[in-house]
Structure 1
Amino acid sequence: MNETLTHINGIPIHRNFIEKLPYNPHLKNLLRDKRKAGILSEVLFWKQVRSGSFYNIDFDRQRIIGNYIVDFYVKKLGLVIEINGWSHGKKQIYDEERQKYLESLTLKVFIITDFDIKNNLAVVMKDLERFIIEHYGF
């Protein structure tokens, strides 16, 4: 039986915790560097979701999953949030491989652009609400 994590717009959102995700310890130093970098779009998004401020959902920032460092991860949903900046136009194959890998672990991936976070943050947050309702709501 699925346990309810929270409610969004009156719709119960059910937990989807994925146990024992692969972890590459060799990425720890890179992880520390990425956290210190303070990329503006990540900081803006983090301010919207940290400390359970988005429907009391706990988000992790910069999480190692396999050989990837994802921008944000919601453990209780099995949800990855990736912010794609201008450089991702040149990394399309990498991004597709990353997404296929994450989805092979039964994770859901929500992708946002750096531009949208900086220019349409309210819309991004509504889109995230809809995504969560669509994939985890009952």
Structure 2
Amino acid sequence: MHNKKNLKAYRKALRNNGTSAEAFLWMQLSKSKLEGRKFRRQHSIGNCIVDFFCSSERLIIELDGEVHFNTTALEKDLKRTQYLENLDYKVIRFENKMVFDNLQSVLMEIKENFDNK
């Protein structure tokens, strides 16, 4: 279910050609910088490749740029989110612009989705 071999080349291409917002957020999430949680980027679950994934929290973070703001893309994103939530993952989404304009708010919302047992 995770990181299927047939998606490996596509995951690698996405990592190598990520958006500037993904790179900027990754600087905050990589190397367990955010409260010691380990995140992976461009991780596949089933046939979905998610932007960021924290397995210990069952948390998925998706960044949405301009291409996501049309009816077709919004419907596709909704179906992906429902699919992932049905697998018992929590999905949160941010606009790319928000990562740059309100990074601290983004990080706070991510932390609020941690299961602090």
Same fold (TM over 0.5): yes
| Structure possessing the higher relative contact order (Cα contacts under 8 Å, 6 or more residues apart) | 1
1:88 to 68, 73, 76: 68
Residue 54 of structure 2 corresponds to 74
Larger radius of gyration: 1
Residue 103 of structure 2 corresponds to 121
Matches within 5 A, 1:28-43: 28-43=8-23
Q: Percent sequence identity over matched residues?
A: 29
Q: Deviations over 1:26-65 (max 9, x none)?
A: 2222111101103100011000111011111100011011
Q: Quick check: 2:2–2:43 contact (8 Å CA) kept in 1?
A: no
Q: Alignment partner of 1:116: what SS?
A: helix
Distance 2:109 2:44 in 1: 25
Matches within 5 A, 1:1-138: 21=1, 23-90=3-70, 91-132=73-114, 136-138=115-117
Distance 1:129 1:77 in 2: 10
Q: Which runs of 4+ in 1 moved over 6 A?
A: none
Task: Give the gaps of 5 or more residues in structure 1.
Answer: 1-20
Normalised by the length of structure 1, the TM-score is 0.78
Distance 1:96 1:49 in 2: 25
Normalised by the length of structure 2, the TM-score is 0.91
- Between 99-108 and 117-126, report the one with greater CA deviation: 117-126
Distance 2:40 2:101 in 1: 23
